[in-house]
Chain A
């Protein structure tokens, strides 16, 4: 058991630091930071693109990817080292998580050579950003219940329907879309996966205002949108299998983050600065026990990440422990936000800092409910742990045998 870098890892880390030092400024590690994309402001898209291009030109982009697509064929550990180090610097919030983390790997696994050549190098360079067109109003957790249709017309497919909750669609060039190509087949068999040009005629992107007030996601309407058959990924009817590849990658990339921009140090400082019963809150036993419980979960998550990394660095795949990350992090983030507000007493409901309150807690409180849904809800994650990790029986299903068109779905009106 050894936490330290191997000599090769240490050398690599030094090289990364040297480059980052020359190209970015170190961040104040104690400053709470907004890490939800929807909190980003101003020209963040252009800034993110510029930073991606800088990394690309210096050979630090998509490190694990094959060289022929613009990657560096680095090891998993090297790519993690780069991310760890990059996290210590003042860099724009990434707009590439979905593309680089989920969609790129899906193209690598299921795409044709032409598709890989056409799409992957531009994804690395970053001038083309990608979004994930999976969820629909009536198909979220029940993704395979989606209804957006694709009908063959010569060498094209005609897409009609609606996607929703599409993060980043407003600035994306490409989207990965799952559509129903055969409503007479059973549910999971009638799906096909497509690459869609978000600038094509008939694509209508409308921002959705989130409960936090920001608009990180959108609804996307498709009216007779033409997609060339060359942009179909994998075989007709194979869409579910391809979608699972995307989702597996989603879990591992989302699981990596700890959720929320606030940390244990912030909590200690807050408790030192406010009072309960005329004494600093940090002297209150109840407050102290709660902080300890947050700290224990935080470190537990952090070292769960290290266990996965360790498996990666030994050339093994991370074990099932990786699946708890987002579930634990989102709930804890929400509770930490609530607790930070609680400590601020009556002022805890204020969302600007004019009155001396620190609004990072309120932002966390408003952002975490979204994280509990995104990338699989808490309940779906518990189903996955129970069924896939532990091997407990699945739910009784009413939707397995019939043609899709005969299955009830969505909200009864």
Chain B
């Protein structure tokens, strides 16, 4: 048994960390944030050059042909550095959907485009506020044309193509649509974190091709979301680790009542609890990474567990980050709110924590029967 990442995988993580330290400083994140610029084109180009975008895309489509464990290592650093790029939309969701269900033409076009950095992709499922259910889908696909409205779509304003969940006949299908095509209207939506920008996409008889078989869209979408959740959980954990570290450093250097505030027990005990939360999440993430890499039957349970515990750990950490910084934590100038915003956005992307709890318990009930 070896329940750990390999030396090569850890090296990849170290490289990612060094690259992002240099190229995704919080100053740069703020530039994108304040300019409302969607994402950092420079950083995206760098990520493509390092082979990150094709990390788990097969070599025949221009990818690096690594597995999910490598993707998880990169995801963690993307989260730590609040990298303002459409990485999760493109890599965890769009590439995964095409990989799992695309035909050869779709794979050649989209996977190759993603790996080279030429294409940004995303996935569009929800249509309104409230939770995602089969009945909540009203968009329609007639075999070649897509109509309907999707919101919020992460990176929808910038993406080149989207995987869309739509009704086809009496069932649901997943379709791919190029967003520059006729009949597609994009509208930017204001959201908590402009570096993970949201949009509304409206389709009026836009040309689209089906991904996989008709009527299998719901299961396929769930499958993609489950897999994406594992990598997202690593991204959240990385984000929580860094928020924790920044808070810790601040506490060691901030004095009140003649002592570093890090010496007050009421704060120390909360830091210990945040540490425990993150270790619980980390262990679930490792389990999920193992299940994803091995396509194990525990994947559904493990992915939901990783997503729930990473969301909770990140939520607790960013709330405490602001609290432990005192008044400055509540300012625009300090970076606490960047983590607070990003943390919440990541928790809602791919479904809220309560939606994942529901998925997990459904699986537990199946298992108990």
Interface residues of A (CB under 8 A from B): 1-6, 9, 77, 264-265, 268-269, 272, 282, 285, 288-289, 291-293, 295-297, 299-304, 306-307, 309-311, 313-314, 321, 324, 327-328, 379, 381-383, 385-387, 389-390, 392-396
Contact = CB atoms under 8 A, between A and B. Distances in A.
Contacts of A393: 252, 259-260, 262-263
Contacts of A396: 259, 263
A269 B367 CA distance: 11
B287 interface: yes
Given A310-B3, A392-B263, A393-B262, A300 B309 contact: yes
Contacts of A385: 272, 275-276
Given A313-B2, A382-B268, A300 B368 contact: no
Contact of B364 (A5, A295, A324): A295
Interface string B353-365: 0101110110011
A74 to B, nearest CB: 15
Interface string B334-369: 000000000000000000001011101100110110
B1 A5 contact: yes
A6 B308 contact: no
Nearest to B368: A268
Interface string B276-320: 100111111011011001000000011011001100100000000
A383 B356 CA distance: 33
B300 to A, nearest CB: 12
B365 A390 contact: no
A301 B272 contact: no
Contacts of A313: 1-2
Which are the 6 A-B pairs with shortest beta-carbon distances?
A: A300-B280, A292-B357, A303-B283, A386-B268, A310-B3, A385-B272
A307 B275 contact: no
Nearest to A310: B3
Interface secondary structure of B, over-half rule: helix
B71 interface: no
Contacts of B281: 300
Contacts of B312: 296
B259 A306 contact: no
B19 interface: no
A284 to B, nearest CB: 11
Output the residue of A296, A302, A383, A394 with the most chain B CB within 10 A.
A296
Interface string B227-265: 000000000000000000000100110000001101101
B357 A289 contact: yes
Given A292-B358, A390-B271, 11 more contacts: A1-B6, A264-B364, A292-B304, A296-B309, A302-B283, A304-B279, A306-B3, A314-B4, A383-B268, A386-B268, A390-B275
B4 to A, nearest CB: 5
Given A1-B69, A268-B368, A386-B272, A296 B284 contact: yes
Given A282-B365, A296-B309, A304-B279, A2 B1 contact: yes
B269 interface: yes
B5 interface: yes
Contact of A310 (B4, B248, B260, B304): B4
Output the residue of B69, B273, B356 with the most chain A CB within 10 A.
B273
A291 B361 contact: yes
Nearest to B293: A1
Contacts of B263: 392-396
Contacts of B280: 296-297, 300-301, 304, 324, 328
Given A299-B305, A300-B283, A300-B284, A77 B1 contact: yes
Contacts of A299: 283-284, 287, 301-302, 305
A253 B254 CA distance: 37
A282 B302 CA distance: 21
A299 to B, nearest CB: 5
A392 B262 contact: yes
B139 to A, nearest CB: 27
Nearest to B262: A392
Output the residue of B3, B69, B309 with the most chain A CB within 10 A.
B3
A381 B354 CA distance: 30
Nearest to A328: B276
Given A300-B279, A309-B1, A382 B272 contact: yes
B262 to A, nearest CB: 5
B301 to A, nearest CB: 8
26 contacts: A1-B286, A1-B290, A2-B1, A2-B2, A3-B290, A5-B1, A9-B1, A272-B365, A272-B368, A292-B360, A293-B357, A295-B361, A296-B280, A297-B280, A299-B287, A300-B281, A304-B279, A304-B282, A307-B283, A313-B1, A381-B272, A393-B259, A393-B262, A393-B263, A395-B265, A396-B263
Contact of B252 (A3, A297, A301, A392): A392
Contact of A292 (B271, B275, B308): B308
B308 A293 contact: yes
A324 B283 CA distance: 12
A14 B259 CA distance: 58
Contacts of B287: 299, 303, 306
B152 to A, nearest CB: 24
B353 to A, nearest CB: 9
B130 to A, nearest CB: 14
A297 B278 CA distance: 11
Given A3-B290, A268-B364, A300-B280, A392 B271 contact: yes
A303 B286 contact: yes
A178 to B, nearest CB: 26
A324 B3 contact: no
A295 B290 CA distance: 18
A272 B280 CA distance: 27
A302 B259 CA distance: 38
A310 B284 CA distance: 15
Output the residue of B280, B286, B357, B365 with the most chain A CB within 10 A.
B280
B281 to A, nearest CB: 7
B225 to A, nearest CB: 16
Output the residue of A285, A324, A381 with the most chain B CB within 10 A.
A324
B260 A301 contact: no
B234 to A, nearest CB: 13
B305 A296 contact: yes
Contacts of A328: 276, 280
